[in-house]
Every structure is written in structure tokens, then in C-alpha cells.
Structure 1
Amino acid sequence: MKLEKEKLESMTNELVEWIRTMMKDSGGSKAIVGISGGKDSSVVASLCVKAIGKENVFGVLMPDGIQRDIDYAHEICSYLDISHEVVPIHPMTDAFLTTLESIKGDFIPEISNQTRINLPPRVRMTLLYALSQSIEGSRVINTSNLSEDWVGYATIYGDTAGAFSPLAMLTTDEVIQVGRYLGVPEKFLAKPPEDGLTGKTDEDVLGFSYDTLNRYIREGNIENEATKKIIDKMHKNSRFKFVPIPMFKANLPIKAEDIADIYNEEKE
């Protein structure tokens, strides 16, 4: 959706203020952002710099082996002038896979391709939280967008995690518009999105364009019925990734004060 200048300005300012509020409400003062060099992490890092200052934003680059576009990640950190560190995760993912190989047999006949693809995002999020708990007052910021989340193009407990998600209700084209408003260099916004794991772009993996998906999300319009069915199926089958974990209702009393009211038990 093409946003009017006034709407883009007001929404971006609201986003910045929202980040400040979320940080304060969570008791945090610093942001930990996994940096890929693509538009999402670049825009999130830029928003955090504007919200809490560059001295409070920490970028983490996490290549799994050779990452051919890692220069983008270095460049956006330098452009924003934020502290950043490269932490290769290949030793960690390799250790996981080696352990899984060692128990192959009746219990686990083979290591599936899905296991191999989703392991690095989960390792990355584990690493981000490990770093966050060693940087006092820091919070891990989610960098997912609405387009990816809508079709479940995200790893549960991997890139679905974080203290809060600034871009979760913005499509890919809207993220780009926010980035342009913030002055993020075009090279980071125009870079074809890819997961950095499969060697393919997101659109190659999905089988349809983000333009098609975004128009369907915002307008409900889509020309190709087969593509609509694919998107609808992906959306339906991935909703479990984005809802709180279901909890069995034991119908037993909870007398303690529940500030968040997350248990949904009826108080007596």
C-alpha cells in the first residue's frame, strides 16, 4: 500500500514513540538486533536508533558458514554507527547436527531438510537472548514483517521471537517506505530478500511475489485463484506460530493477583 506522506510521517513517529514505550514497559533501555543487511533488520535498527539513541543499539551478525551478502550487514551497522559484533553460528549448528547424527536409528531415521533449514534461526535467537542477558537492560527486538508472517514464512521460536515487533503489522512495501522516510540508503531497502540459508530469494521459496501477497493482504484482491489457494492454505496452517501456547484449563482457583490476566481462569 502506498502511504500518503502525512500518514507515513505520523505512523513512523508513532512507531518510534511506541518503541520507547515498549522498552520502558519491559524495563529495558538497550536494543539487541540481529542484523542481516536486508530491509527489515536495517529499518528496525534505524527505528531503535531514533527511539533510544545509537549508543543503546547493538547489532549482531550471525553467519552460518559463508554468507555472501554479509557486507551489507557490516555496512548498515557502520552507517548507523552502532556497536556490532560478528558471531559465527556454524560451530553451534554443526554441534546440533552432529549430535542428531549420533542418535539416528529407530528414534530418528534421518535428519529432515526442515530440521536443517529451521535450526539456524533457532540457534540465532538463542544466541541473541544469551547476549541480551549478558548486556544489562537489553531487550531482543523482533524484525519480522506482516507479509512473511501472514504465510508463516518464519521459524517458530526462531525469528518469531523477541520482546516486541515493530514491523509485524507492516507489509514489505510499507517497511521500505518507512525505511526511505528514515533515510536508510536504498541499497539496503532494494536488496532482494533472502533467508541467507537456502541460497534462494524469499520469492523463489514462496512461489509468488511480495507484490501479489501485499495487494491481497491490504486490498483482498488477487488475480490467480491457484495462488490465492496457496496463500490461504499457508496462512491457515501457520497461525499456530503466532498465538500464545494453548494451556489446559483445569478449572481450579487462582487467588493470586494476575496482573497480565494471561490464565483466563475465572476468579471467585
Structure 2
Amino acid sequence: MAKEKNMNEFSYDVLTLDCEKETRRLTAFVAEAVGRRLHKQGAVIGLSGGVDSSVTAALCVRALGPDKVIGLLMPERDSHPDTLRLSQLVGESLKIRTIHRDITPILTGLGFYQEMTSCLQEVVPEYSEGWKWKISASELSEDRVFTFFWLVVQSPQGEIIKKRLPADKLLRMIALSNFKQRTRKMLEYHYADRFNYAVSGTSNLLETDQGFFVKLGDGAGDFKPIAHLYKSQIYQLGNYLGLPAAITKRQPTSDIHPFAQGQDEFFFLLPYQQMDACLYGEKNGIPPESVARAIGLGVERVRLMYKQLAHRRTANEYLNLPALYPEPQD
């Protein structure tokens, strides 16, 4: 899959894909999974306008044909305007059928927006409708590999207020935000049932390994063709597959909160290229000193990232587990 590796020294070359070979392998996997193992007629993909879902859709098109792939466009009122525009662009470039389902009415019916506003006002009393907000993560330190989180709000006049989130408020806000991903996955399975299609997952290796997904939400799927790939490898595939430059040059965003932010601010703390390097180094036993030299970070910062990667993998292990059953008795 990637170039030959020296286990004591890191170079970004180890993450370079043979895109032609990997595309053949993954399209064969999709065809086998959908048709012969799942016995379905096609694939449903939730399109976000990001590179992961776009590459997944492109692989499905190569494996199944454009007439056997449905892209769902599922923005809500807090989504960035680019989300719908870029999702439509992907659908058009791949010549697949797209279905637009704005999930705002569903979230409104669940009481999501009202309860989220109430929660935000408990932390920042000044907050009101029309303000923007996001959650940002703290930096690591030698004595603390876990992160704490800040609530950052912006008034219509541009005033910024930043307050540390108590654990109970953080959990409540995450639980509410997870409604979005679970609502989208519910719609994906609705259309999969309707057309006898399978649902494709779109998580990459970093997200799967670290638990950056919602259980029974964006982490769900009948098959997951890119779950083994580093983010930088998915960008390589996106270029090889001829996706629009607006997709392959777009930086990863969470698009969870109305105040725009990148994934490195919300969860991963580093740009995806450096996170890929740290994850590869940590998983393959490469000394932090080697990774630090290659990516331009201090050795201590990389050492801390290794610790956090291991900590998060253990803490979020349950997200990847199937339901637990008692052992049968004789």
C-alpha cells in the first residue's frame, strides 16, 4: 500500500500510496462487499463536501457505476454554506443521483436548538439567537494527556467570549450535537432500505483509531472502504480520482458548530499531515525524535502526542466494540 519503511526513521514517503493499485483494490472490495457479501443493489453515501465522503463516493462509482450510487445532502441551519455547495459539486462531477434533505425540521422537532441555546446560556448568559459558537480543545501538557474544552462564542458585533466548559455541560452539548450525525445516518438507512442499497461509512484511519465519530451516527456503515487510510492518503486518492480541486484543496473542518473551525482546533490539536505522522510513528514504534525531525515539531510535543493517541485509543475503545452479550450457558 505504502512505500517500504525503515522502522527507526520516519519520512512522509511511507504514507505515499500507489494510487492506481489501491484504487483497483478498493473498487474490487466495494463490488465484492455490496454485491456478493451484502447482496445489495448499490450504495448510499452521506456527502458532506469533504474529501472523505467524496473519495468514498468516487470509489463506489468506479465499483458499481454512477447509476447505483446515491449521495445524500443533509445540511442543517448551522451548517457552513460551503457544505451544500460542495456536496452538490461532488454529485455533479460524479454524475450520481443526489437527494437533498435539510435536517433542520427534524432537529427542531427533537428540541435540539432550544435545548442547545439553554445550555449555552448557562455557560455564557449573554448568548442569544444570532450568536455563533464553537468548542475548542486545550493544549497538552507533561502532566496531562487528556484535554479540557473551551466554549467560544461570538456576538453579531464580533465580540468574543471564551469560557472553560464544565464536564457536565460538555457532555450535554456533545450528546445534543450527536443528534445531527445520528439523524443523518437514520436518513441514509432509510434510503438504503428504500432502494435495497448498502450504506457506506466514510471514516478514515485517524478518526476510527481515535474515536472521532459518533457511535450509530457517522461511525456506522455496512462497509467502510477508507477506514484503513491516513488522511493524507485520502487526499492523494482524491487527486488521482479526479475530484474537483475545491474538494482536494479544502482543509478538514468539523462543521458541527456554527462558528467555523478546523478539526485540529476541535479534536486533533495538530494539522492532519502532522497527526498522520504522529499516528504512524506511534503505531509503528518509531522514536518521537525521528518524527519530530521530519515534521518540524519539538520532540517533547511529539512525545506528548504519542501519549494522547494511546490514551484516546483506550478511552474510546468502546465506540468500536459491537454490542456485548452474556456467554451462553450449557
TM range (shorter): 0.7 to 0.9
Q: Which residue of 2 aligns with 1:210?
A: 272
- Give me the identity figure in percent: 25
* CA offset digits 1:60-110 (Å, max 9, x no partner): 000121432121111111111111011011111222226996xx9xxxx98
**1:117 counterpart residue number:** 177
Distance 1:132 1:50 in 2: 19
User: Which residue in the other structure is 1:14 paired with?
Assistant: 25
241 and 100 in structure 1: CA distance in 2 versus 1, 3 angstrom threshold: farther
Q: Tell me what 1:156 maps to.
A: 215
Q: Does 1:46 align with 2:46?
A: no
Moved more, 222-231 or 154-163: 222-231
Q: How many angstroms apart in 2 are the aligned matches of 1:234 and 1:200?
A: 21
- Counterpart CA distance in 2 for 1:11 and 1:132 is 26
What pairs with 1:1-268 in structure 2 (closer than 5 Å)?
1-2=12-13, 7-24=18-35, 25-67=37-79, 68-69=81-82, 70-97=84-111, 112-135=172-195, 137-198=196-257, 199-206=260-267, 207-220=269-282, 221=286, 222=288, 223=299, 224=301, 225-252=303-330
| Equivalent residues of 1:17, 1:51 under 8 A apart | yes
For 1:240 and 1:138, locate their aligned partners in 2 and report how far apart those are by CA, in whole Å.
28
> Does the 8 Å contact 1:16/1:50 carry over to 2?
yes
The farther-off stretch of 17-26 and 60-69 is: 60-69
Post-superposition Cα deviations, 1:123-142, rounded to whole Å, max 9, x if no partner, equal 1101111121111x211110
TM-score of the aligned structures, taking structure 1 as reference length: 0.84
Give the Cα separation in 2 of the matches to 1:98 and 1:84: 26
CA distance in 2, matches of 1:119, 1:208: 27
Measure, in 2, the Cα distance between the counterparts of 1:228 and 1:239. Answer: 17
Give SS of 2:227's match: coil
* 8 Å CA contact 2:252, 2:263 repeated in 1: yes
Conserved? CA contact 2:16–2:233, under 8 Å: no
Task: Tell me: CA distance 1:211–1:113, structure 2 relative to 1, closer, same or farther (3 Å).
Answer: same
Q: 1:203 to 1:4 in 2, by over 3 A?
A: closer
Q: Counterparts of 2:33 and 2:209 in 1: how far apart (Å)?
A: 23
Structure 1 residue 4: Cα displacement: 5.3
Query: Paired residue for 2:147?
Result: none
Contact 2:279 2:309 in 1 (8 A): no
TM-score, with length taken from structure 2 = 0.69
Offset at residue 195 of structure 1 (A): 2.3
Q: What secondary structure does 2:58 align onto?
A: helix
CA deviation vs aligned residue, 1:16-72 (integer Å, no higher than 9, x gap): 000000011100121101001110111011001100100111110001214321211
Output the CA distance in 1 between the equivalents of 2:24 and 2:49.
Answer: 23
Aligned partner of residue 59 in structure 1, secondary structure: strand
Q: Which residue type is aligned with residue 211 of structure 1?
A: Q
Unmatched 5+ stretches in structure 2: 1-11, 119-167, 289-298
Structure-2 separation of matches of 1:98 and 1:83: 30
Residue 243 of structure 1 and its aligned partner are, at CA, apart by 2.1
Q: Distance in 2 between matches of 1:146 and 1:99?
A: 31
User: Structure 2: which amino acid aligns with 1:238?
Assistant: N
Q: Which moved more, 1:166-175 or 1:63-72?
A: 63-72
User: Is the CA contact (8 Å cut-off) linking 1:208 and 1:227 kept in structure 2?
Assistant: no
Distance 1:88 1:100 in 2: 18
CA contact (8 A) 2:279 2:306 kept: no
Q: Quote how far apart the aligned CAs of 1:186 are.
A: 2.5
